[in-house]
């Protein structure tokens, strides 16, 4: 991954799990780490504003706005590489909120 992540991403399908699985994982993550103290500042990692945002994220997840559609493949086969590994093209895309981070 550190050497050539693009090589990996062209050969691996990635999925966002269904709402019930994603919600449980995020909920547990937020509860486990949100109240921990920052080593540098001594403040909790999540303040009131962060907790409000976390709840909004959980609502979006629970409503199914984050997960991949269950009956739609977001990957198309582009062919095979010289080693016979399947190459994929993802049609998920990047939304305007991500700001070109990828």
Which of the four pLDDT bands, split at 50, 70 and 90, describes residue 47? Answer: very high
Note the pLDDT tens digit of each residue in 23-32.
999 999 999 9
**DSSP output for 18-72:** PHHHHHHHHHHHHHHHTTSBPTTT-SBSS-HHHHHHHHHHHHHHHTTSSSPPTT-
pTM score, whole prediction:
0.71
Domain boundary assignment for the chain = 17-67
- Asked whether residue 94 carries a pLDDT value surpassing 80, the answer given is no
């Amino acid at each position: 991954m550190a050497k050539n992540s693009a090589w990996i991403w062209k050969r691996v399908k990635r999925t966002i799990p269904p709402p019930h699985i994603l919600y449980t994982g995020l909920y547990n993550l937020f509860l486990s780490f949100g109240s921990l103290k920052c080593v540098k500042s001594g403040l909790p990692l999540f303040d009131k504003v962060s907790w409000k945002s976390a709840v909004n994220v959980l609502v979006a997840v629970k409503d199914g706005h984050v997960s991949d559609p269950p009956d739609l493949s977001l990957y198309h086969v582009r062919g095979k590489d010289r080693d016979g590994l399947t190459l994929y093209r993802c049609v998920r895309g990047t939304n305007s909120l991500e700001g070109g981070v990828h």
